[in-house]
């Protein structure tokens, strides 16, 4: 079965847009798992996010900072962000203030 390539007004093919939405949902699901009580699941989710790479993960993580379920959840998100290096610290500070950069 071939994927149907329907152009969106923005010029992005329908299949690409659907894949992008799927990626965002997957990242969101992993970020939610970071707030869980089971340390093994939290660590597996953190590893998965780090494996996805900073290009895909850093800004979604920053966006989650003000919405974190708890202080512990926020700390785990910050710990994962720290794994990507100091070049993202200004974005992290903006995320904590609830602002976009």
Tens of pLDDT along the chain (101 residues) come to 344 444 445 555 565 566 556 677 889 999 999 999 999 999 999 999 988 888 889 889 988 988 999 999 999 999 999 888 877 666 666 666 765 54
Instruction: Report yes or no on 3 lying in a domain.
Output: no
What's the N-to-C CA distance of the chain in angstroms? 41
Residue 76 lies in a domain: yes
In a domain, 2, yes or no: no
Is residue 101 domain-resident?
A: no
Domain hosting 77: range is 14-96
Single pTM value for the model: 0.69
Distances (CA, A) of 70 to 29, 32, 35, 65: 16, 11, 7, 10
Domain count, the chain: 1
Residue 7 placed within a domain: no
Residue with tokens 């071939």: 2
Tell me, yes or no, whether 82 lies in a domain: yes
């Amino acid at each position: 079965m071939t994927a149907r390539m329907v152009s969106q007004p923005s010029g992005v093919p329908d299949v690409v847009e659907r894949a992008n939405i799927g990626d965002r949902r997957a990242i969101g699901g992993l970020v939610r798992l970071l707030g869980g009580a089971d340390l093994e699941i939290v660590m597996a989710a953190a590893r998965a996010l780090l494996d996805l790479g900073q290009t895909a993960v850093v800004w979604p993580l920053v966006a989650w900072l003000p919405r974190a379920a708890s202080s512990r959840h926020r700390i785990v998100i910050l710990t994962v962000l720290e794994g990507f290096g100091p070049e993202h610290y200004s974005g992290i500070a903006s995320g904590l203030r609830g602002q976009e950069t």
